[in-house]
Structure 1
């Protein structure tokens, strides 16, 4: 049955629509932190549909909210008042930390970043964007144009002039050997020098932790230091929180808060986890920025009632059950367990991350040379052991990505770590 589905997939869908595994699997249903494939195999899910199943599979509170809303109305567009959309917007505006915040809902993180770019370039009257090396911001024409990861940049054409800044990757690049203080200072000096050679940019867009890039991040405080330089010149700061939002990092509700000494960003974008699988994205911005457009704009599917009902139920569950605290506690145990296991595997270059957002970078033993084949081998071995994880990285996809639902318990963390340890040992 799977072979037939794979053949049909390949005959009708694009060649560049990637599938994991030598024998791709079809996930048919899930519950809690587990999913099942079409052959009845059960897996512990440590990737959550690319960090999207944030709380749990088949969470009763979300399922009930979706079912009840489906019995009333699914959709009406933004041309009509929409109570669930207003309810969720009020919650997110307050949680964002941005003063006088306005919220615009989209259907994805890509569309959210597109909207942020439209707002920034219109507000600043500049099409120059600063972005981080190794970054990923989506698959649309404009978001590909600001993506600094070559594996996800199919074209160099862009409506934007993009300048790439150092700092998103702590352990690679020209400043890797510096201590944290000097690393931040060198990156700030580089940014300041760059700004002296270009017309004033519209904005810097940055992921507090780079998702597709392999869960890399700078020292805490880097983006606050950048913000001080940018603020002097009127340049906006956009925090791409598509993967880092909603408490996943454990220590903070938003990733930007690790860099918060200069206050919140001018805009933040979100998506993925808030819908727990439903298609929700959005932008939060100060009113003067959000309201700068002087032409009509709507969203046919952004903020539709059924997705907003899911988002409200999911956010309520995450807050009421302190899933941020759980990510901090269980994630801390998981990362230490993985570091202990990785210490015995020469192919592991680094285990990094925070909360339930953990990256394991693989390289050829004794070198810094990326080893994507090893990453693929571990991915396959983990699946055979009953664990689903992801891949990423800016060096030929040589990093494993571990991002379970935030309700993960200690026993499941131990089970997943044991499977992953065996998978890592299998490549030696």
Structure 2
């Protein structure tokens, strides 16, 4: 059955629409932290639909909210008052930490980042944007234009002039050998030098933890140090929280809070986990920035009633069950377990991450040379063992990405770690 579906997929969908596995699987249903494929195989899900199934598969509170809302009205557009949208916007504005916040809902993280770039360039009257090397911000024309990862940049054409800054990857690049304090200082000096050679930028857009880049991150405080330099020049800071938001990192509700010395960002973008599978994205910004557009604008599908109902139910569940705390506790156990397992595998260069956002970088043993074939082999072996994970990285997709639903329990973490240990050992 899958062979037929695969043939149909290839006949009608783009060649660049990636599929995992030598023999791609069709996921038919899920429950909790598990999913099943069309052949009846059961998997522990450590990727959650690319960090999107944030709480659990088939979470009763969310499915109930969606069903009840669908029985009333599914959609009306932003041309009419929308109670669920206002309710969710009020909660997110308060949680964001941004003063006098306004919220605009989109259907994806790509669209959220696209909107943030529109707002920043309009507010600052500049099309120059700072972005981080190894970054990923989405699939749209403008988002690709600020993506610093060659594997996800299909064109060099862009409406923006993008300048790339050091610092998103701690263990590679010219400053990798420095301690954290000197690393931050060197990156700040690089930023100052770059600003001295460019037109005044509109904004810096940065992921606190680089998702597609393989869950890399700078030392805590780097973006606070950047913010102090940028603030002096009126340059905005956009924190891309599409993957780091909602408590996934465990220590903080938002990724920017690891860099909080200078306060919240001017804007943050969000998506993925808030909808637990429903298509929700958005931007939070100070009112003066959000309201800077001087032409009409609406959103046909952003903030539609059914997705807002899902988001409200999902956010309520996450907060009431302290899933951020669970990500910190269970994620801490999982990363230590994986580090212990990886210590015996020469191909593992680094196990990194925080909370339930963990990356394992693979290289050819004894070198820093990326090994994408090894990453693919571990991905396959993990699936054969009953575990779904992701992959990414800025050096030829050689990092494994581990991001289970935030309700993961200790027994499931141990089970997944054991499968991953076997998968890693299988490539030796």
Q: How far did 1:70 drift?
A: 0.3
**Aligned-partner SS, 2:164:** strand
State the match for 1:421 in structure 2.
421
Deviating beyond 3 angstroms after TM superposition, the runs of 4 or more aligned structure 1 residues are: none
What is the CA–CA distance in structure 1 between the aligned matches of 2:115 and 2:296, rounded to whole Å? 14
Q: How far did 1:58 drift?
A: 0.0
Q: How far did 1:141 drift?
A: 0.3
Q: How far did 1:112 drift?
A: 0.1
What is the CA–CA distance in structure 1 between the aligned matches of 2:29 and 2:330, rounded to whole Å? 25
Q: How far did 1:285 drift?
A: 0.0
**Aligned-partner SS, 2:189:** helix
Q: How far did 1:153 drift?
A: 0.1
Q: How far did 1:346 drift?
A: 0.1
Q: How far did 1:201 drift?
A: 0.1
Q: How far did 1:393 drift?
A: 0.1
Q: How far did 1:279 drift?
A: 0.1
**Aligned-partner SS, 2:131:** strand
Q: How far did 1:72 drift?
A: 0.1
What is the CA–CA distance in structure 2 between the aligned matches of 1:13 and 1:194, rounded to whole Å? 41
Per-residue CA deviation, residues 149-198 of structure 1 (Å, 9 max, x unaligned), is 00000000000000000000000000000000000000000000000011
Per-residue CA deviation, residues 200-233 of structure 1 (Å, 9 max, x unaligned), is 0000000000000000000000000000000000
What is the CA–CA distance in structure 1 between the aligned matches of 2:301 and 2:194, rounded to whole Å? 39
What is the CA–CA distance in structure 1 between the aligned matches of 2:168 and 2:269, rounded to whole Å? 18
What is the CA–CA distance in structure 2 between the aligned matches of 1:198 and 1:143, rounded to whole Å? 20
Q: Which runs of 5+ in 2 are unaligned?
A: none
Per-residue CA deviation, residues 52-94 of structure 1 (Å, 9 max, x unaligned), is 0000000000000000000000000000000000000000000
Per-residue CA deviation, residues 224-281 of structure 1 (Å, 9 max, x unaligned), is 0000000000000000000000000000000000000100000000000000000000
**Aligned-partner SS, 1:359:** strand
What is the CA–CA distance in structure 1 between the aligned matches of 2:260 and 2:157, rounded to whole Å? 34
Paired residues in the alignment total 428
**Aligned-partner SS, 1:416:** helix
Alignment of structure 1 residues 33-48 onto 2, 5 Å = 33-48=33-48
Q: How far did 1:20 drift?
A: 0.1
Q: How far did 1:314 drift?
A: 0.1
Q: Is 1:365 equivalent to 2:375 in the alignment?
A: no
Alignment of structure 1 residues 138-149 onto 2, 5 Å = 138-149=138-149
Q: Which runs of 5+ in 1 are unaligned?
A: none
Per-residue CA deviation, residues 299-339 of structure 1 (Å, 9 max, x unaligned), is 00000000000000000000000000000000000000000
State the match for 1:163 in structure 2.
163
What is the CA–CA distance in structure 1 between the aligned matches of 2:140 and 2:115, rounded to whole Å? 11
State the match for 1:407 in structure 2.
407
Q: How far did 1:368 drift?
A: 0.3
State the match for 2:291 in structure 1.
291
What is the CA–CA distance in structure 1 between the aligned matches of 2:145 and 2:189, rounded to whole Å? 25
Per-residue CA deviation, residues 130-155 of structure 1 (Å, 9 max, x unaligned), is 00000000000000000000000000
What is the CA–CA distance in structure 1 between the aligned matches of 2:7 and 2:164, rounded to whole Å? 40
Per-residue CA deviation, residues 86-118 of structure 1 (Å, 9 max, x unaligned), is 000000000000000000000000000000000
Normalising to structure 2: TM-score of the pair? 1.00
Q: How far did 1:29 drift?
A: 0.1
State the match for 1:313 in structure 2.
313
Q: How far did 1:353 drift?
A: 0.1
Aligned-residue RMSD, C-alpha: 0.2
Per-residue CA deviation, residues 342-395 of structure 1 (Å, 9 max, x unaligned), is 000000000000000000000000000000000000000000000000000000
State the match for 2:119 in structure 1.
119
